[in-house]
Structure 1
Amino acid sequence: MPLLHVSMRAGKPDAYRQAILDNLYRAMREALNVPEDDQFMTISELAPANFRCGNAYGVERSDDAVLIQITVFASRTAEQKGALYRRIADLLGESPGIRPEDVFVNVLDAPKENWSVGHGIAQFA
């Protein structure tokens, strides 16, 4: 039950953005065993004045950097997260062609009782 959000600079075509979402979903299916059609994903496109990525931690980022934040059940292991990071970088490199240096991923753990996916109930608690 991941909840995923991507922030990026505005100006990329629809196909570019769709490739990001498609490959993020694929990476989550492969690395986290996310169920079929479990797709809760958004992209925010920001004007250059509203989007800044530095080159901290020895990573030279370009204007094509994407910030990806994924909230998951707190049950994911460090190994699963590591596999997810690698798979995301590989797939986004293939399509739409984002350099691995421009893929910034943050995974947030949330207890199952923190989720309601509809009907005003905590389905996973």
Structure 2
Amino acid sequence: MPLVRVSLRRGKSAQHIAAIRNSIYRAMIESFNVPQNDRFIVVHQHDAEEFDYDPNYLDIARTDDLVMIQIACNNTRTVEQKKAFYQRTAELLSKEPGLRPQDVLINLLETGKENWSFGNGQAPYA
């Protein structure tokens, strides 16, 4: 059950934001072993003074179109799966909505399966 949080600068269209959500979800299904309908994504838009980043950290040239993606997920994936997911996400986002791969930052927060409740006060994976 990945919980995806997307942060970006304010001012993008609803279609642009939907394309980001859809591309991330597709990448999760294709390369991150996420089942259909396991879709929980929130988007946070920030004014310029609330969105701070280094435009050249690690010699990667970033622009104000930077999208920061943070995903809380189970700690069950291999390094190879993670690398494939990062690559596929950047590929899909470059197609729709047209982001540069340099403007895609992804961070995983891995947790044990017992740390999830999907509703009803129950922990189905515990």
Taking the aligned partners of 1:101 and 1:28, their CA distance within structure 2 comes to 19
Alignment partner, residue 10 of structure 2: 10
Q: How large is the Cα RMSD of the aligned pairs?
A: 0.6
Taking the aligned partners of 1:76 and 1:122, their CA distance within structure 2 comes to 20
Displacement of 1:43 = 0.5
Displacement of 1:53 = 1.4
Could you report, residue by residue, the CA deviation over 1:69-97 in whole angstroms, capped at 9, with x for unpaired residues? 01111111111100000000000000100
Displacement of 1:35 = 1.0
Taking the aligned partners of 2:77 and 2:122, their CA distance within structure 1 comes to 23
Structure 1 spans left out of the alignment, 5+ residues? none
Taking the aligned partners of 1:108 and 1:87, their CA distance within structure 2 comes to 19
TM-score w.r.t. length of structure 1? 0.98
Structure 2 spans left out of the alignment, 5+ residues? none
Q: How many residue pairs get matched?
A: 125
TM-score w.r.t. length of structure 2? 0.97
Could you report, residue by residue, the CA deviation over 1:26-62 in whole angstroms, capped at 9, with x for unpaired residues? 0000011211111100100000010011021111100
| Percent identity between the two aligned chains | 46
* AA matched with 2:9: R
Alignment partner, residue 40 of structure 1: 40
Taking the aligned partners of 2:7 and 2:60, their CA distance within structure 1 comes to 18
